[in-house]
Each structure stands twice: as structure tokens, then as C-alpha cells.
Copies of this chain bind each other. A is one copy, B any other.
Amino acid sequence: MLPIALDAMGGDHAPSEIVAGARLAADEYGIPILLVGRPDELGDTGGLPVLAASEVIAMDAEPGKSVRTLKDSSLVRAAQAVRDGQASAMVSAGNTGAAMASALLRMGRIKGVARPAIATPIPRLSGRPVVLLDAGANADCEPEWLVQFGLMGAVFARHRFGVTEPRVGLLSIGEEAGKGNSFVKHTYAAMAAIDWAAACGARFVGNVEGRDLMGEIADVAVTDGFTGNVALKAMEGTTKTVIKALLEAFDATPESREAAALLLPALLPLYAKFSPETYGGAMLLGVDGVCVISHGSSNANAIRNALRVAYDMVEADIVAHLRDAVSG
């Protein structure tokens, strides 16, 4: 397999945690990796090859402009390496908008895709996560794009999480068909009008609600990128707040600290389940290549997991499956 191009300069803890994650992925899984960034800032790469890129796109930089002007940035070079056949996939924990723009600009879209969408796995109790898309690539959407998001999300849920017949729901504010704002009503009509779901082995289950994003009634939840991003961040904020409150309660007294220590073995798997690290980030579906976008706060473990996702998706030939589904 061609190496996975890893943006070594992107993320709150770049480059040290990024390089550390790359070394973990190489050591533990034997994944071939091409680090992209400033060679003299990467520290000990453990022998991993480096593609030199002299510029860095800041986490808060304006995405479109940065990608157009910083052509020798690690992000743009990583995307270019995929386009040029030097790499099989790209992974970045950097500026999300710039990662999308780089992928779109350098790899292009899969033929027939109206807009790429960010697919983010959301943990749930029963094991396999719910795939939420669009989680933020397109703030304003057309109803027809969401039909395609459903299709791409179903393909992703099958190949990423092994869901045989993914149940695809439309995020709304009531379960009945007529519920929602005017955009969602139009989208519902578009999703119900043609049998896109059966054609890709999925099932359209109608509207789902905010509470179902961690629930058991759908495997894929489709929405516009504004609503998806608000919901995702609201859920992340809630998880963090509840966990912070718990930790404070655990730390309240010597007795509570002792009791909490006894509970630790039961709590650690939970922490792993709900941590954003676990799923290795989101995937940009619809570009003509594998592009995994990891959380800005990614540590070495999160990067290792993101590289593993990219590797698995290349192995599964997800882009070919998406191409078939979109053209089918």
C-alpha cells in the first residue's frame, strides 16, 4: 500500500503528538506513513519518511484563502500527495475547513457528488456508533444533497462499522413525516421520492430526533452542516460537562476518592467509549480520495486511531464503493 500522508503540523499538539501517533501506528499496525511538514521541527521520526512542506496553516486561519495562498503548507502538500499517487490517503488534526478545502481542491470530487460531507461517528451504548453527516462541511444545503449524504453515510457505515443494512434517518424535531422546518420537509419529500436507499442496501427510517443521535433507531443521521455541527458540539459539551461534574464529585472527600478508586476498573472502558479519541475522527465523504479529519485536540492515541481508520478505509476501497453508490 502507498503510505498515508499525515499532516504533521496540524493540531493543538503538533508536531510532537502527531509524530508520536505516527510512530505508534507504524509500530503497532505496520501502517506505512509519510509525514508532511517542516523536517527540522518534527523531532525523532523513528525513521518515518518526511515530505517537506515549508508552510503551516494556522488552526484559526481563513480556510479558503489559506489553501489558495499557502501552496507549500503541510495540509495542501498532504492532499497533493494523494492526488499525485504518492500517498493512499491523508490525515490531519489541523484546521478543519482548510483540510476540507485542501482535499476538495487537490483531490476533487467523486463524479456525481454535489457536495462532500463530514461523517462523524457518535458513540452509543450498544456498540457501533451512529454516523452523523454533515457534521459541518456545508452550512447551507439543498435537499437533494442530503439524499446523497444518506447514501454516502450508508456506504460508510457498512464499510467502516460493518452495518449490513444501515438505517438512515433524517434529523428533525418530531418523528412524523410532516415535522420539521421547511428545509427538512422538502428534504423528507426528496428522500422519500426515490428509492435511493434500497439501491445501496440501506433503509430510510424517516425522521429521527436529537436524542436519537446516541440512540438505537438509526445507524446514520443525515442533516445540514449547520445543524449537524451545533448538535455534535452540544453533545461533546454535554459529555464533558457531565464527566467534569462527576470527577469533582469523586474528588469531594477522602471517602469519595477512595470509593472512586475502587470504581476505576468499571469506569475506564466507559471513558474509552465516550472519548472523541476512540473513533479516530471524522471522514470527508465525497472527495476522490480518503481524507480523515481528526479532532484539533488530538493526542498521539487519537492520531494512531485516525491513521488506522484511514488505513482500513483504503483497504476497504471506500472511494470505489462511494463511486459505485453515487453513480448507481
Contact residues in B for A263 (Cβ distance below 8 Å): 249-250, 256, 259-260, 263
- State which of A22-30, A49-57, A150-158, A179-187 sits at the interface with chain B: A179-187
A233 touches B249 (CB 8 A): no
Q: Report Cα–Cα, A209/B204, bound state, in Å.
A: 30
Contact residues in B for A236 (Cβ distance below 8 Å): 210-211
Answer yes or no: A199 CB below 8 A from chain B CBs: no
Answer yes or no: A230 CB below 8 A from chain B CBs: yes
Size bin of chain A's contact surface:
35 or more
How many copies of this chain does the complex contain?
2
CB-nearest residue of chain B to A244: B125
Answer yes or no: A245 CB below 8 A from chain B CBs: yes
Q: Report Cα–Cα, A252/B269, bound state, in Å.
A: 12
Contact residues in B for A227 (Cβ distance below 8 Å): 226-227, 230
Q: How far is the CB of A172 from chain B (nearest CB, A)?
A: 8
A125, A210, A256 interface centre (most CB from chain B within 10 Å): A210
A266 touches B239 (CB 8 A): no
Contact residues in B for A246 (Cβ distance below 8 Å): 246, 267, 270
Q: Report Cα–Cα, A88/B167, bound state, in Å.
A: 48
Kindly list the 4 A-B residue pairs having the minimum CB-CB distance in the complex, ordered from nearest: A210-B233, A211-B237, A210-B234, A259-B262
